[in-house]
Structure 1
Amino acid sequence: MSSGGSATDTATPRGSFVPPATTPGTLPVVELFHSIQGEGSRTGEPSTFIRLAGCNLRCTWCDTPYSWSSEGVKAAEHVRLDELADRVTERAVVLTGGEPMLHRRRLPALIAALRERGVEHVTVETNATIYDPALAHDVDLWSLSPKLPGSGEGADAEVIGQYLRGASDRVQLKFVVTEEQDLDAMWSLLEQVGEPLPASGVLVQPDGRREDYGQVLRVLAQQVLDDDGQWRGVPRRSLTRVMAQVHRVAWGAAARGV
Protein backbone atom coordinates (compact mmCIF):
# COMPACT_ATOMS: atom_id res chain seq x y z
CA MET A 1 0.00 0.00 0.00
CA SER A 2 1.34 3.41 -0.88
CA SER A 3 1.21 6.60 1.11
CA GLY A 4 -1.71 7.70 -1.07
CA GLY A 5 -3.03 11.06 0.05
CA SER A 6 -0.15 11.78 2.40
CA ALA A 7 1.35 15.22 1.87
CA THR A 8 4.66 14.81 3.69
CA ASP A 9 7.83 14.99 1.65
CA THR A 10 9.35 12.12 3.62
CA ALA A 11 6.69 9.55 2.68
CA THR A 12 8.29 6.62 0.85
CA PRO A 13 5.72 4.52 -1.07
CA ARG A 14 8.18 1.72 -1.78
CA GLY A 15 9.54 1.75 1.75
CA SER A 16 13.30 1.87 1.12
CA PHE A 17 13.88 5.22 -0.54
CA VAL A 18 14.94 8.37 1.30
CA PRO A 19 14.33 11.57 -0.72
CA PRO A 20 17.34 13.85 -1.14
CA ALA A 21 17.73 16.46 1.57
CA THR A 22 17.06 20.00 0.42
CA THR A 23 17.83 23.44 1.75
CA PRO A 24 14.63 25.21 2.91
CA GLY A 25 13.00 27.12 0.08
CA THR A 26 14.85 25.22 -2.65
CA LEU A 27 14.41 22.22 -4.91
CA PRO A 28 17.15 19.78 -6.03
CA VAL A 29 17.46 20.26 -9.79
CA VAL A 30 19.30 17.67 -11.87
CA GLU A 31 18.82 19.60 -15.10
CA LEU A 32 16.76 22.40 -16.61
CA PHE A 33 16.44 22.59 -20.37
CA HIS A 34 14.25 23.89 -23.17
CA SER A 35 12.94 21.51 -25.81
CA ILE A 36 9.72 20.19 -27.30
CA GLN A 37 7.46 17.89 -25.35
CA GLY A 38 8.33 14.55 -26.87
CA GLU A 39 5.46 12.35 -25.70
CA GLY A 40 1.85 12.30 -24.64
CA SER A 41 -1.11 14.47 -25.57
CA ARG A 42 0.95 17.69 -25.85
CA THR A 43 3.64 16.26 -28.12
CA GLY A 44 5.54 18.91 -30.07
CA GLU A 45 4.90 21.80 -27.67
CA PRO A 46 7.94 24.00 -26.84
CA SER A 47 8.47 23.60 -23.09
CA THR A 48 10.91 24.20 -20.28
CA PHE A 49 11.71 20.96 -18.45
CA ILE A 50 12.71 20.96 -14.79
CA ARG A 51 14.09 17.59 -13.74
CA LEU A 52 14.11 17.07 -9.97
CA ALA A 53 16.35 14.65 -8.09
CA GLY A 54 15.23 11.42 -6.49
CA CYS A 55 12.87 8.57 -7.33
CA ASN A 56 11.13 5.92 -5.25
CA LEU A 57 11.20 3.33 -8.06
CA ARG A 58 13.98 1.54 -9.95
CA CYS A 59 12.57 0.63 -13.37
CA THR A 60 14.72 -1.72 -15.41
CA TRP A 61 14.31 0.44 -18.53
CA CYS A 62 14.70 3.85 -16.83
CA ASP A 63 16.17 6.34 -19.31
CA THR A 64 17.15 8.91 -16.65
CA PRO A 65 19.00 6.94 -13.93
CA TYR A 66 21.17 10.01 -13.35
CA SER A 67 18.13 11.64 -11.74
CA TRP A 68 18.10 9.17 -8.83
CA SER A 69 21.59 7.64 -8.67
CA SER A 70 23.62 8.58 -5.61
CA GLU A 71 26.02 10.54 -7.82
CA GLY A 72 23.19 12.36 -9.57
CA VAL A 73 21.42 13.25 -6.34
CA LYS A 74 24.65 14.57 -4.81
CA ALA A 75 25.36 16.65 -7.90
CA ALA A 76 21.89 18.22 -8.01
CA GLU A 77 21.80 22.01 -7.75
CA HIS A 78 19.64 23.27 -4.89
CA VAL A 79 17.88 26.21 -6.52
CA ARG A 80 15.63 28.74 -4.79
CA LEU A 81 12.07 28.60 -6.10
CA ASP A 82 11.97 32.18 -7.38
CA GLU A 83 15.32 31.74 -9.13
CA LEU A 84 14.12 28.50 -10.66
CA ALA A 85 11.03 30.24 -12.03
CA ASP A 86 13.24 33.02 -13.44
CA ARG A 87 15.15 30.46 -15.55
CA VAL A 88 12.01 29.39 -17.42
CA THR A 89 11.73 30.69 -21.00
CA GLU A 90 8.62 28.92 -22.31
CA ARG A 91 4.92 29.29 -21.56
CA ALA A 92 4.69 25.56 -20.87
CA VAL A 93 6.66 23.91 -18.04
CA VAL A 94 7.13 20.19 -17.40
CA LEU A 95 8.11 19.08 -13.89
CA THR A 96 9.73 15.68 -14.20
CA GLY A 97 12.29 13.45 -12.57
CA GLY A 98 12.95 11.14 -11.01
CA GLU A 99 9.69 11.51 -9.17
CA PRO A 100 8.69 15.17 -8.65
CA MET A 101 5.92 14.27 -6.20
CA LEU A 102 8.58 13.42 -3.63
CA HIS A 103 8.90 17.22 -3.35
CA ARG A 104 5.17 17.98 -3.34
CA ARG A 105 5.29 20.27 -0.30
CA ARG A 106 7.29 22.82 -2.33
CA LEU A 107 5.53 22.46 -5.67
CA PRO A 108 2.62 24.86 -4.90
CA ALA A 109 5.05 27.73 -4.25
CA LEU A 110 7.02 26.93 -7.40
CA ILE A 111 3.87 26.75 -9.52
CA ALA A 112 2.67 30.08 -8.08
CA ALA A 113 6.03 31.65 -8.99
CA LEU A 114 5.75 30.23 -12.51
CA ARG A 115 2.25 31.66 -12.93
CA GLU A 116 3.47 35.07 -11.80
CA ARG A 117 6.02 34.95 -14.63
CA GLY A 118 3.47 34.15 -17.32
CA VAL A 119 3.61 30.36 -17.47
CA GLU A 120 0.30 29.15 -18.87
CA HIS A 121 0.57 25.38 -18.60
CA VAL A 122 2.24 23.12 -16.02
CA THR A 123 2.59 19.37 -16.52
CA VAL A 124 3.75 17.04 -13.76
CA GLU A 125 5.15 13.70 -14.95
CA THR A 126 4.68 11.16 -12.16
CA ASN A 127 4.80 7.41 -11.64
CA ALA A 128 1.43 7.67 -9.85
CA THR A 129 2.50 6.20 -6.53
CA ILE A 130 1.96 9.44 -4.58
CA TYR A 131 -1.14 11.66 -4.59
CA ASP A 132 -1.74 14.94 -2.80
CA PRO A 133 -5.28 16.38 -3.08
CA ALA A 134 -3.98 19.84 -2.21
CA LEU A 135 -2.11 19.90 -5.53
CA ALA A 136 -4.81 18.38 -7.72
CA HIS A 137 -5.99 21.62 -9.35
CA ASP A 138 -2.72 23.57 -9.24
CA VAL A 139 -1.44 21.44 -12.12
CA ASP A 140 -2.83 21.67 -15.66
CA LEU A 141 -1.89 18.14 -16.71
CA TRP A 142 -1.04 15.14 -14.56
CA SER A 143 0.86 12.77 -16.82
CA LEU A 144 0.57 9.45 -14.99
CA SER A 145 2.98 6.70 -15.97
CA PRO A 146 2.08 3.64 -13.86
CA LYS A 147 4.57 0.81 -14.11
CA LEU A 148 3.80 -2.51 -15.78
CA PRO A 149 5.50 -5.87 -15.04
CA GLY A 150 8.16 -5.32 -17.72
CA SER A 151 9.55 -2.45 -15.63
CA GLY A 152 10.41 -4.68 -12.68
CA GLU A 153 8.19 -2.45 -10.54
CA GLY A 154 4.46 -2.33 -9.82
CA ALA A 155 1.58 0.12 -10.01
CA ASP A 156 -0.71 1.37 -7.24
CA ALA A 157 -4.35 1.10 -8.33
CA GLU A 158 -5.55 3.02 -5.29
CA VAL A 159 -3.41 6.06 -6.04
CA ILE A 160 -4.28 6.00 -9.74
CA GLY A 161 -7.93 6.02 -8.73
CA GLN A 162 -7.32 9.03 -6.49
CA TYR A 163 -5.93 10.96 -9.45
CA LEU A 164 -8.82 9.97 -11.71
CA ARG A 165 -11.40 10.94 -9.11
CA GLY A 166 -9.70 14.10 -7.88
CA ALA A 167 -8.38 15.55 -11.15
CA SER A 168 -10.06 13.53 -13.89
CA ASP A 169 -10.17 16.36 -16.44
CA ARG A 170 -6.44 16.99 -15.94
CA VAL A 171 -5.08 13.44 -16.26
CA GLN A 172 -3.45 11.45 -19.03
CA LEU A 173 -2.47 7.80 -18.64
CA LYS A 174 0.80 6.88 -20.34
CA PHE A 175 2.31 3.39 -20.20
CA VAL A 176 5.68 2.05 -21.36
CA VAL A 177 5.07 -1.40 -22.87
CA THR A 178 8.17 -3.59 -23.09
CA GLU A 179 6.80 -7.14 -22.94
CA GLU A 180 3.96 -8.88 -24.75
CA GLN A 181 2.04 -9.44 -21.51
CA ASP A 182 2.26 -5.77 -20.50
CA LEU A 183 -0.84 -4.80 -22.51
CA ASP A 184 -3.03 -7.36 -20.74
CA ALA A 185 -1.49 -6.32 -17.42
CA MET A 186 -2.34 -2.69 -18.22
CA TRP A 187 -6.01 -3.48 -18.82
CA SER A 188 -6.16 -5.64 -15.69
CA LEU A 189 -4.76 -2.72 -13.71
CA LEU A 190 -7.32 -0.31 -15.16
CA GLU A 191 -10.10 -2.75 -14.28
CA GLN A 192 -8.75 -2.83 -10.73
CA VAL A 193 -8.69 0.97 -10.64
CA GLY A 194 -12.36 0.95 -11.57
CA GLU A 195 -12.64 4.55 -12.82
CA PRO A 196 -13.57 5.92 -16.27
CA LEU A 197 -10.62 6.54 -18.58
CA PRO A 198 -9.44 10.08 -19.36
CA ALA A 199 -10.71 11.67 -22.57
CA SER A 200 -7.31 10.96 -24.18
CA GLY A 201 -7.78 7.23 -23.64
CA VAL A 202 -4.70 5.15 -22.87
CA LEU A 203 -1.36 6.20 -24.36
CA VAL A 204 1.23 3.46 -24.92
CA GLN A 205 4.83 3.65 -26.10
CA PRO A 206 7.79 1.24 -26.36
CA ASP A 207 11.13 1.33 -24.56
CA GLY A 208 12.85 4.48 -25.83
CA ARG A 209 16.36 3.15 -25.12
CA ARG A 210 16.19 0.46 -27.78
CA GLU A 211 18.49 0.84 -30.77
CA ASP A 212 15.85 -0.85 -32.94
CA TYR A 213 13.27 1.73 -31.90
CA GLY A 214 11.37 1.70 -35.18
CA GLN A 215 11.02 -2.06 -35.00
CA VAL A 216 9.74 -2.17 -31.40
CA LEU A 217 7.33 0.66 -32.24
CA ARG A 218 5.97 -1.39 -35.16
CA VAL A 219 5.64 -4.46 -32.94
CA LEU A 220 3.70 -2.48 -30.34
CA ALA A 221 1.44 -0.97 -33.00
CA GLN A 222 0.66 -4.44 -34.34
CA GLN A 223 -0.05 -5.73 -30.83
CA VAL A 224 -2.64 -2.99 -30.38
CA LEU A 225 -4.18 -3.64 -33.80
CA ASP A 226 -4.43 -7.36 -32.98
CA ASP A 227 -5.99 -6.79 -29.55
CA ASP A 228 -9.53 -8.20 -29.70
CA GLY A 229 -10.26 -7.66 -26.00
CA GLN A 230 -13.11 -5.60 -24.56
CA TRP A 231 -13.12 -3.03 -21.78
CA ARG A 232 -16.56 -2.19 -20.43
CA GLY A 233 -18.15 -3.27 -23.68
CA VAL A 234 -15.80 -1.24 -25.88
CA PRO A 235 -12.97 -2.68 -28.03
CA ARG A 236 -9.74 -2.05 -26.14
CA ARG A 237 -7.84 -1.11 -29.28
CA SER A 238 -10.25 1.79 -29.90
CA LEU A 239 -9.27 3.24 -26.51
CA THR A 240 -5.51 2.87 -27.08
CA ARG A 241 -3.19 5.41 -28.68
CA VAL A 242 0.27 4.24 -29.81
CA MET A 243 2.79 7.05 -29.34
CA ALA A 244 6.40 7.50 -30.41
CA GLN A 245 8.85 9.58 -28.37
CA VAL A 246 9.55 12.45 -30.76
CA HIS A 247 12.67 13.58 -28.87
CA ARG A 248 14.00 10.03 -29.13
CA VAL A 249 13.48 10.04 -32.90
CA ALA A 250 14.96 13.53 -33.34
CA TRP A 251 18.01 13.35 -31.06
CA GLY A 252 18.61 9.68 -30.28
CA ALA A 253 18.38 7.55 -27.16
CA ALA A 254 21.59 8.77 -25.52
CA ALA A 255 20.94 12.53 -25.75
CA ARG A 256 20.34 14.53 -22.56
CA GLY A 257 18.73 17.92 -22.22
CA VAL A 258 16.27 17.32 -25.06
Structure 2
Amino acid sequence: MEGGVKRLPVHERFYSWQGEGMHLGRSAYFIRLFGCPVHCPWCDSAGTWHQDYIPKNVERFSPQELADAAAASGAAFVVVTGGEPAIHDLKPLTDALGAAGLTRHLETSGAFPIKGDFDWITLSPKWQKEPLTENLQKASEFKIIVEDAESIHRWQDKIGKHFSKTKPVWLHPEWTQHKNPEVLESITRWIKEYGDPYRAGYQMHKLYQADLLDPNSRKSAPLGGDVSKGY
Protein backbone atom coordinates (compact mmCIF):
# COMPACT_ATOMS: atom_id res chain seq x y z
CA MET A 1 0.00 0.00 0.00
CA GLU A 2 1.38 3.39 -1.01
CA GLY A 3 -0.04 6.54 0.52
CA GLY A 4 -3.10 4.64 1.69
CA VAL A 5 -3.85 3.29 -1.81
CA LYS A 6 -3.83 -0.47 -2.25
CA ARG A 7 -1.73 -2.07 -4.95
CA LEU A 8 -3.80 -4.21 -7.29
CA PRO A 9 -3.03 -7.88 -8.05
CA VAL A 10 -2.31 -8.00 -11.79
CA HIS A 11 -2.42 -11.18 -13.85
CA GLU A 12 -1.31 -9.40 -17.02
CA ARG A 13 -1.15 -5.95 -18.56
CA PHE A 14 -0.58 -5.69 -22.28
CA TYR A 15 -1.20 -3.66 -25.43
CA SER A 16 -3.39 -5.13 -28.17
CA TRP A 17 -6.77 -4.32 -29.70
CA GLN A 18 -10.31 -4.91 -28.55
CA GLY A 19 -11.59 -8.13 -30.07
CA GLU A 20 -15.25 -7.82 -29.07
CA GLY A 21 -18.22 -5.49 -28.93
CA MET A 22 -18.79 -1.93 -30.09
CA HIS A 23 -15.09 -1.06 -29.91
CA LEU A 24 -13.94 -4.04 -31.97
CA GLY A 25 -10.63 -3.46 -33.73
CA ARG A 26 -9.57 -0.36 -31.77
CA SER A 27 -6.22 -0.28 -30.00
CA ALA A 28 -6.57 -1.02 -26.31
CA TYR A 29 -4.41 -1.46 -23.22
CA PHE A 30 -5.64 -4.33 -21.06
CA ILE A 31 -5.30 -4.58 -17.30
CA ARG A 32 -6.39 -8.07 -16.20
CA LEU A 33 -6.74 -8.44 -12.45
CA PHE A 34 -6.59 -11.57 -10.32
CA GLY A 35 -9.61 -12.95 -8.52
CA CYS A 36 -13.09 -14.18 -9.40
CA PRO A 37 -15.67 -15.94 -7.18
CA VAL A 38 -17.91 -16.82 -10.17
CA HIS A 39 -15.86 -19.75 -11.57
CA CYS A 40 -17.48 -20.52 -14.90
CA PRO A 41 -16.51 -24.06 -15.98
CA TRP A 42 -15.55 -22.81 -19.47
CA CYS A 43 -13.69 -19.69 -18.33
CA ASP A 44 -10.93 -18.67 -20.75
CA SER A 45 -9.20 -16.59 -18.07
CA ALA A 46 -9.02 -19.27 -15.37
CA GLY A 47 -5.43 -18.29 -14.66
CA THR A 48 -6.84 -15.35 -12.72
CA TRP A 49 -8.58 -17.52 -10.12
CA HIS A 50 -8.02 -21.28 -10.47
CA GLN A 51 -5.91 -22.63 -7.61
CA ASP A 52 -3.81 -24.73 -9.97
CA TYR A 53 -2.62 -21.70 -11.91
CA ILE A 54 -2.30 -18.74 -9.53
CA PRO A 55 1.41 -18.11 -8.89
CA LYS A 56 2.80 -18.05 -5.36
CA ASN A 57 4.03 -14.50 -5.81
CA VAL A 58 1.31 -12.39 -7.41
CA GLU A 59 2.57 -9.13 -8.90
CA ARG A 60 0.92 -6.02 -7.51
CA PHE A 61 0.99 -2.54 -8.99
CA SER A 62 -0.15 0.83 -7.78
CA PRO A 63 -2.92 2.59 -9.73
CA GLN A 64 -0.38 5.20 -10.82
CA GLU A 65 2.02 2.59 -12.17
CA LEU A 66 -0.78 1.03 -14.19
CA ALA A 67 -1.94 4.41 -15.49
CA ASP A 68 1.60 5.36 -16.49
CA ALA A 69 2.07 2.11 -18.44
CA ALA A 70 -1.29 2.50 -20.16
CA ALA A 71 -0.54 6.08 -21.15
CA ALA A 72 2.90 5.14 -22.48
CA SER A 73 1.36 2.49 -24.76
CA GLY A 74 -0.52 5.04 -26.84
CA ALA A 75 -3.69 2.93 -26.80
CA ALA A 76 -7.03 4.51 -27.67
CA PHE A 77 -8.52 3.35 -24.37
CA VAL A 78 -7.92 1.10 -21.35
CA VAL A 79 -9.85 -2.08 -20.55
CA VAL A 80 -10.02 -3.22 -16.93
CA THR A 81 -10.94 -6.90 -16.91
CA GLY A 82 -10.36 -10.16 -15.07
CA GLY A 83 -11.33 -12.53 -13.57
CA GLU A 84 -13.96 -10.33 -12.05
CA PRO A 85 -12.41 -6.86 -11.62
CA ALA A 86 -15.35 -5.48 -9.64
CA ILE A 87 -14.35 -7.47 -6.55
CA HIS A 88 -11.67 -4.79 -6.15
CA ASP A 89 -12.04 -1.11 -5.29
CA LEU A 90 -11.29 0.35 -8.72
CA LYS A 91 -11.85 4.01 -7.81
CA PRO A 92 -8.13 4.82 -7.29
CA LEU A 93 -7.33 3.16 -10.62
CA THR A 94 -10.05 4.96 -12.58
CA ASP A 95 -9.00 8.24 -10.95
CA ALA A 96 -5.40 7.69 -12.05
CA LEU A 97 -6.44 6.70 -15.57
CA GLY A 98 -8.75 9.69 -15.84
CA ALA A 99 -6.03 12.05 -14.65
CA ALA A 100 -3.83 10.68 -17.43
CA GLY A 101 -6.54 11.54 -19.97
CA LEU A 102 -7.37 7.90 -20.68
CA THR A 103 -10.79 6.52 -21.59
CA ARG A 104 -11.76 3.77 -19.14
CA HIS A 105 -13.65 0.60 -20.06
CA LEU A 106 -14.78 -2.18 -17.73
CA GLU A 107 -15.59 -5.81 -18.51
CA THR A 108 -17.65 -7.39 -15.73
CA SER A 109 -20.22 -10.04 -14.94
CA GLY A 110 -22.16 -7.35 -13.11
CA ALA A 111 -22.50 -9.53 -10.01
CA PHE A 112 -20.64 -7.15 -7.68
CA PRO A 113 -20.96 -3.41 -6.93
CA ILE A 114 -18.81 -1.33 -9.27
CA LYS A 115 -16.43 1.01 -7.43
CA GLY A 116 -14.94 3.47 -9.89
CA ASP A 117 -15.86 5.77 -12.75
CA PHE A 118 -15.99 4.19 -16.20
CA ASP A 119 -16.74 5.62 -19.63
CA TRP A 120 -17.95 2.28 -21.00
CA ILE A 121 -19.18 -0.88 -19.27
CA THR A 122 -19.50 -4.25 -20.98
CA LEU A 123 -21.68 -6.52 -18.87
CA SER A 124 -21.54 -10.26 -19.51
CA PRO A 125 -23.94 -11.99 -17.09
CA LYS A 126 -23.19 -15.43 -15.69
CA TRP A 127 -25.60 -17.98 -14.25
CA GLN A 128 -23.18 -18.89 -11.48
CA LYS A 129 -23.78 -15.47 -9.87
CA GLU A 130 -26.42 -13.29 -11.47
CA PRO A 131 -25.93 -9.56 -12.13
CA LEU A 132 -27.12 -6.80 -9.83
CA THR A 133 -29.99 -4.65 -11.08
CA GLU A 134 -27.95 -1.49 -10.54
CA ASN A 135 -25.26 -2.82 -12.88
CA LEU A 136 -27.74 -3.91 -15.55
CA GLN A 137 -28.87 -0.28 -15.61
CA LYS A 138 -25.28 1.02 -15.85
CA ALA A 139 -24.26 -1.25 -18.73
CA SER A 140 -23.24 0.34 -22.05
CA GLU A 141 -23.54 -2.98 -23.86
CA PHE A 142 -24.30 -6.60 -23.01
CA LYS A 143 -22.40 -9.74 -23.97
CA ILE A 144 -24.47 -12.88 -23.69
CA ILE A 145 -22.51 -16.14 -23.70
CA VAL A 146 -24.45 -18.68 -25.74
CA GLU A 147 -23.62 -22.06 -24.23
CA ASP A 148 -26.36 -24.02 -25.97
CA ALA A 149 -29.37 -23.55 -28.24
CA GLU A 150 -31.54 -22.36 -25.31
CA SER A 151 -29.14 -19.83 -23.77
CA ILE A 152 -30.55 -16.76 -25.51
CA HIS A 153 -34.13 -17.57 -24.51
CA ARG A 154 -33.09 -18.10 -20.89
CA TRP A 155 -31.22 -14.80 -20.64
CA GLN A 156 -33.99 -12.96 -22.44
CA ASP A 157 -36.48 -14.23 -19.86
CA LYS A 158 -34.14 -13.32 -17.00
CA ILE A 159 -32.86 -9.84 -17.89
CA GLY A 160 -34.46 -8.94 -21.22
CA LYS A 161 -36.44 -6.10 -19.64
CA HIS A 162 -33.14 -4.25 -19.26
CA PHE A 163 -32.32 -4.44 -22.97
CA SER A 164 -33.03 -1.47 -25.23
CA LYS A 165 -32.30 -0.51 -28.82
CA THR A 166 -29.71 1.99 -27.61
CA LYS A 167 -27.52 -0.70 -26.00
CA PRO A 168 -26.15 -3.51 -28.18
CA VAL A 169 -26.72 -7.06 -26.96
CA TRP A 170 -23.94 -9.22 -28.36
CA LEU A 171 -24.60 -12.93 -28.72
CA HIS A 172 -21.29 -14.76 -28.37
CA PRO A 173 -20.85 -18.49 -28.84
CA GLU A 174 -19.13 -19.92 -25.77
CA TRP A 175 -15.66 -20.61 -27.13
CA THR A 176 -15.75 -24.39 -26.73
CA GLN A 177 -18.97 -24.25 -28.80
CA HIS A 178 -17.84 -21.77 -31.44
CA LYS A 179 -18.10 -24.42 -34.18
CA ASN A 180 -21.31 -26.01 -32.88
CA PRO A 181 -23.95 -25.50 -35.61
CA GLU A 182 -26.85 -25.54 -33.13
CA VAL A 183 -25.30 -22.73 -31.11
CA LEU A 184 -24.39 -20.67 -34.17
CA GLU A 185 -27.77 -21.20 -35.80
CA SER A 186 -29.57 -20.15 -32.60
CA ILE A 187 -27.74 -16.82 -32.76
CA THR A 188 -28.53 -16.33 -36.45
CA ARG A 189 -32.21 -17.20 -36.00
CA TRP A 190 -32.59 -14.85 -33.04
CA ILE A 191 -31.05 -11.88 -34.85
CA LYS A 192 -33.11 -12.48 -37.99
CA GLU A 193 -36.30 -12.68 -35.93
CA TYR A 194 -35.76 -9.83 -33.47
CA GLY A 195 -33.17 -7.50 -35.04
CA ASP A 196 -31.81 -4.66 -32.91
CA PRO A 197 -30.37 -4.54 -30.30
CA TYR A 198 -29.17 -8.12 -30.88
CA ARG A 199 -25.92 -8.62 -32.77
CA ALA A 200 -23.73 -11.61 -33.56
CA GLY A 201 -20.55 -11.53 -31.53
CA TYR A 202 -17.20 -13.29 -31.71
CA GLN A 203 -13.79 -13.14 -30.06
CA MET A 204 -11.90 -11.87 -33.08
CA HIS A 205 -8.63 -11.39 -31.21
CA LYS A 206 -8.40 -15.18 -30.82
CA LEU A 207 -8.44 -15.65 -34.58
CA TYR A 208 -5.59 -13.17 -34.94
CA GLN A 209 -3.82 -14.32 -31.74
CA ALA A 210 -3.36 -10.59 -31.33
CA ASP A 211 -2.87 -10.53 -27.57
CA LEU A 212 0.04 -12.96 -27.68
CA LEU A 213 2.08 -10.54 -29.79
CA ASP A 214 2.69 -8.53 -26.63
CA PRO A 215 5.26 -10.37 -24.47
CA ASN A 216 3.41 -9.25 -21.34
CA SER A 217 0.31 -11.22 -22.35
CA ARG A 218 -0.05 -14.68 -20.79
CA LYS A 219 -1.36 -17.82 -22.44
CA SER A 220 -4.70 -19.03 -21.10
CA ALA A 221 -4.61 -21.58 -18.31
CA PRO A 222 -6.10 -24.88 -19.53
CA LEU A 223 -9.15 -25.30 -17.29
CA GLY A 224 -10.56 -28.66 -18.30
CA GLY A 225 -7.43 -29.77 -20.10
CA ASP A 226 -8.06 -28.61 -23.66
CA VAL A 227 -5.87 -25.63 -24.52
CA SER A 228 -7.09 -25.63 -28.13
CA LYS A 229 -10.56 -24.72 -26.87
CA GLY A 230 -9.28 -21.93 -24.65
CA TYR A 231 -10.06 -23.47 -21.26
Q: Compute the TM-score of the two structures, normalised by the length of structure 1.
A: 0.71
Show the counterpart of 2:35: 54
Structure 1 distance, partners of 2:45, 2:6, is 25
Show the counterpart of 2:225: none
- What are the ranges of 5 or more consecutive residues in structure 2 without an aligned counterpart? 220-231
Structure 2 distance, partners of 1:176, 1:164, is 16
The one of the two structures with greater contact order (alpha-carbon pairs below 8 A, sep at least 6) is 2
| Change in 2 beyond 3 A, CA 1:180/1:219 | closer
Show the counterpart of 1:27: 8
Q: Deviations over 1:133-191 (max 9, x none)?
A: x63xx10111101014xxxx2423xx1x21243x3xx5211011111111111111124
Q: Structure 1 residue 171 and structure 2 residue 140: aligned?
A: yes
Letter in 1 for 2:93: L
Q: How does 1:1-258 map to 2 (within 5 A)?
A: 25-70=6-51, 71-72=53-54, 74-88=56-70, 89=73, 90-104=75-89, 107-119=90-102, 121-132=103-114, 135=116, 138-148=117-127, 153-156=128-131, 159=132, 161-165=133-137, 167=138, 171-191=140-160, 194-197=161-164, 199-209=166-176, 213=178, 215-216=179-180, 219-227=182-190, 236-251=194-209, 256-257=217-218
Structure 2 distance, partners of 1:81, 1:155, is 28
Among the aligned pairs, what percent are the same residue? 27
Letter in 2 for 1:117: A
The Cα RMSD (Å) is 2.8
- State the 1:253 CA deviation: 11
Structure 2 distance, partners of 1:74, 1:179, is 36
Letter in 2 for 1:61: W
Letter in 1 for 2:59: E
Structure 2 distance, partners of 1:72, 1:95, is 19
- State the 1:237 CA deviation: 4.3
Q: Deviations over 1:218-251 (max 9, x none)?
A: 644421333499xxxxx53443101111111111
- State the 1:113 CA deviation: 1.2
Contact 2:14 2:211 in 1 (8 A): no
| Change in 2 beyond 3 A, CA 1:128/1:164 | closer
- State the 1:257 CA deviation: 4.5
Contact 2:10 2:31 in 1 (8 A): yes
| Change in 2 beyond 3 A, CA 1:78/1:182 | same
- State the 1:198 CA deviation: 5.9
Structure 2 distance, partners of 1:36, 1:245, is 11
Structure 1 distance, partners of 2:129, 2:30, is 26
- State the 1:209 CA deviation: 4.3
| Change in 2 beyond 3 A, CA 1:236/1:131 | farther
> How many residues are treated as equivalent by the alignment?
209
| Change in 2 beyond 3 A, CA 1:254/1:59 | farther
Q: Compute the TM-score of the two structures, normalised by the length of structure 2.
A: 0.79
Contact 2:10 2:61 in 1 (8 A): yes
